[in-house]
Amino acid sequence: MIDKLHLKTQDIVNLDKLPKIDSVHNYAQVPDAQYRKCIVIRNGSKHFLTIKTLPYLNNLSPTEIQLNPSNWGSFSLIKNTLNKITNLEALKVLRIDHAVDIERPIEATFYSLRVKHKQDCTVFNENMFKRGVLTGYYLGSKSSPELYCIYDKGFQLSSNGSCKRDKSHNLGTRTRIEVRQKKKKILLPNFLDLPKYQEISPFNNIEWLEMNNLMENDERSQALQTLIRKDGLTNVYQQLNNHNNFKRNYKMLMSQVSFSDELTNSYWCNLGQFFGDDNG
């Protein structure tokens, strides 16, 4: 799915022309530090749309638009809404978040998932992790044009009030993997080209490595598994890969499992429903 979308346009939009969205009733004009006019549209805890226009400073885009496409249900509804207030061909993408949910616990991703060329791993809450509660982590620098955010989706829903915290929400069993892209990492900068992501995978750099069960009694295997369970695969890979020889030295201890294809197929399946027959 496309979870978040941040757009800009050189047009000054007339918020009075913004049409009502069916079944969405919470329209609020809110103050903003950078723009004279700002409207936020929500349905309960679900964010649909934020539009900011008439900037105080000339170096800002005349209008910025933030959406949560997964809450809209269809691309055509977004297009029809925005087409009432601006020229769709002028809309440019500032940020896009690609997301997939998997039925695997967050700990499993921490121990087995790595992203090629991403060396930084930052746990959301270090104190919580030390107490044995891992809720999520970042792979990559937060200033990077591409950041991976991996977190326990059930915990996130319970924390923001979308559901009550009890066993029915499968806390710890459902993980969300997000690829947050901006600047040079945005492959399709034009809003109307977004349906082309049905032929592009943002998840190709993800690898899944598991310990080889046939080597479980090997001392090196046990030592490696202890390190991974303490620091996570990304950090251990970085520590032991000084000369780019991790896979050579440890290929007998760990097996690479096909995983990026699973993510891509799930992503494309969701996009197929979201875009329908819309080709832009």
Neighbours of 229 (CB within 10 A): 13
pTM for the predicted model, two decimal places: 0.87
pLDDT tens digits for range 148-170 = 999 988 776 665 544 444 444 45
pLDDT tens digits for range 60-91 = 999 999 999 999 989 999 999 999 999 999 99
Q: Is the distance from CB of 130 to CB of 45 less than 8 angstroms? A: no
109: closest CA among 149, 166, 146?
A: 149
- Rounded distance, CA 215 to CA 212, Å? 6
28 by DSSP, 3-state: which? strand
CB neighbour burial string for 131-169, b if at least 16 within 10 angstroms, e if fewer: eeebbbbbbbeeebebbbbbbbbbbbbbeeeeeeeeeeb
The pLDDT tens digits along the chain (280 residues) read 999 999 999 999 999 888 888 777 788 999 999 999 999 999 888 899 999 999 999 999 999 999 999 999 899 999 999 999 999 999 999 999 999 999 988 889 999 999 988 888 888 764 455 456 788 899 998 889 999 999 988 776 665 544 444 444 455 678 999 999 999 999 999 999 999 999 999 999 999 988 887 777 788 888 988 999 888 999 998 888 877 788 778 878 888 888 888 999 999 999 999 998 776 5
Which residue has 């800002």 as its token pair? 60
Q: What pLDDT, on a 0 to 100 scale, did the predictor assign at position 248?
A: 78
203: closest CA among 99, 106, 89, 129?
A: 99
